[in-house]
Copies of this chain bind each other. A is one copy, B any other.
Amino acid sequence: MDTVCLNGEFLPLSQAMVSVTDAGFLLGDGVFETMRAEEGHPLFPADHFARLARGARSLGIAVPCEPEELLAWCEQVLDANGLTDARMRVTLTRGPVRSQPIAEREGAPALAVTATPLDPRLGEERAQGWRLAVAPHLRNERSPLASIKATSYLESLLARRYARAHGFDEALLLNTVGAVAEGAMANVFAVRDERISTPPAADGALPGTMRARILKLAAAAGWDAREESLSLEDLLAADEVFLTNAIMEVMPVVGIGERLVAAGLPGPAAKALQAAWRAEARKFLAARRQ
């Protein structure tokens, strides 16, 4: 990450700075997207830009560019960093604010686009599967932030750190009524018989871009794919459990706490859906090449 795009300007990282009065810095008052890029293109950017715009609108933050312009900035950031495959992040905050309680804007929003190399271990981890720790804290499914990918992200970060500190890969978050909400940074799916289920947004699941695509791909492949409340017991008794997000794609879960899931082995549904997703990504990239 040597070159950053900040409000449409391409800057060396050392010069990509925002004011200490930026509402993002002071109050976590912003939204973000994390995207996977391949062959110099973010995958399915429209999915991400639509969610960014939805979150920004619900916070009253103006998106300072058109989707086409934002996409061009993303591709230029990849190029400037000599990256074709990357983890990209778009961060949009309210910009400088005068006073905290009302946070009146006194300048333009800040929009930053960065790209870093993808974690090379993800493929191997996908072959082995992840182990989840049940987070000691609960996801508030009735928070106004439950459906917004906001930069007030510390709860998720703490859950992930808790899992890592205890030797697990990711945290599983239950909601305030004890149902499964999501992973700290991923959505959760369970496979039971021929049914593939993922918790509804009302249970505290962020509307993941990959979650939506996997639901569609699963239905297209003949599974009964649906949003449905899940309990921890449902996950422990499932044929398979897997996580999804835009960076790691479809990640099998082989354990939760000290219990094995699906006999501790990645299962065929996760593998098939990962392959279906890769086929969709290849198709997208082929269209971009033309």
Residues of A near any B CB (own CB < 8 A): 1, 4, 6, 13, 16-22, 24-29, 32, 34, 59-60, 87, 89, 91, 93, 98-103, 110, 112, 114, 116, 119, 136-138, 140, 142-145, 150-155, 157-161, 164, 176, 185
Q: In the bound complex, do residue A24 and residue B25 qualify as a contact, i.e. CB atoms below 8 Å apart? A: yes
Q: In the bound complex, do residue A154 and residue B27 qualify as a contact, i.e. CB atoms below 8 Å apart? A: yes
Q: In the bound complex, do residue B21 and residue A114 qualify as a contact, i.e. CB atoms below 8 Å apart? A: yes
17 chain-A/chain-B pairs, Cβ below 8 angstroms: A17-B20, A20-B112, A22-B25, A25-B91, A26-B89, A26-B91, A27-B28, A27-B154, A28-B28, A28-B151, A29-B157, A59-B154, A100-B157, A101-B160, A138-B143, A138-B176, A144-B155
* Contacts known (A18-B20, A20-B4, A20-B6); A26 close to B151, Cβ less than 8 A: yes
For A151, give the chain B residue with the smallest CB separation: B28
Which residues on B sit within 8 Å (CB–CB) of A112?
A: 20
A136 to B140: give the CA distance in the assembly, Å. Answer: 13
Which residues on B sit within 8 Å (CB–CB) of A137?
A: 142-144
A100 to B25: give the CA distance in the assembly, Å. Answer: 15
Q: In the bound complex, do residue B153 and residue A27 qualify as a contact, i.e. CB atoms below 8 Å apart? A: yes
For A137, give the chain B residue with the smallest CB separation: B144
Q: In the bound complex, do residue A157 and residue B18 qualify as a contact, i.e. CB atoms below 8 Å apart? A: no
For A248, give the chain B residue with the smallest CB separation: B101
Q: Which of A20, A32, A98 has the most CB of B within 10 A?
A: A20
Q: In the bound complex, do residue A102 and residue B160 qualify as a contact, i.e. CB atoms below 8 Å apart? A: yes
